[in-house]
Amino acid sequence: MWMIVQTRQVRHEWHGLEAGGWRLEARSAVVSPGVLVCASLLQPPASSFQPGAILLTPDVVSWTDGGCRGNPGPGGWGMLLVNAASRDCLERCGGERTTTNNRMEITAAIMVLRSLKKPGLTVVINSDSQLLIKGATEWMRGWKARGWRRKEGELLNADLWQELDRLMEVQSTTWKWVKGHAGDPGNERADQLTNRAMDAVQAGQDADWTNRTTWTGRLG
């Protein structure tokens, strides 16, 4: 599975062994004083290597989704969080009476990172939202440097982007775009959770829902 890597103020040390054109590497990443994160990476031959993309074994794999009926209107978010080693899975969803699609997409990612109980984990967040992924990996640094504003002026959902930025400082976060409604099991489940939340909001019920299960789908 190919992933876009987002790192924040991290010092990397690389040790590798190359054989048959493939390169197996171990990474030590110091994310803050006293916190050391290690991950193994497998890189393909140079002929097929994509700049900025690596293969890694994460601690946690997650999928997120957000939606809105009306935009603005009643909306919901859904996420599932899978322990890559044990396959233990946390599912959550929630919603708001009046919101937007983008706010729900960002909120879902925030809820993933808030659900993690310890810092320094390697986390993959799968999303079908280009805005969420580009915001987190490409645009956020510029917004932050301008006091959480765009070049053109006001930054929408600045409160959520700031919270996401704060949480990303705590974990080693990797973002991966997945095509929506294309058969990816995690994406499909996140969509189901989002619709569950929107249904509850529209029915005047509590949209917050949590479930623990075992994940049997693929992780990448």
181 belongs to the catalytic site: yes
Detail the DSSP E strand segments found in the chain: 3-5, 11-19, 22-32, 35-43, 53-56, 60-68, 73-83, 88-99, 122-127, 149-150, 153-154, 172-177, 209-214
Is 191 catalytic? The answer is: yes
Indicate which residue of 128, 135, 184, 186 is catalytic.
128
Paired tokens of 65: 């989704």
Out of 59, 65, 96, 184, the active site residue is 65
Catalytic residue among 20, 147, 152, 181: 181
30, 10 in Cβ contact below 8 A? yes
Q: Calculate helix-pair angle for 101-114, 158-168, nearest 10 degrees.
A: 20
Considering the candidates 59, 91, 96, 105, report the single residue annotated as catalytic.
Answer: 105
Q: Among this protein's residues, is 153 annotated catalytic? A: no
User: Which of 66, 76, 95, 135 is an active site residue?
Assistant: 66
Catalytic residues: 65-66, 105, 128, 181, 191
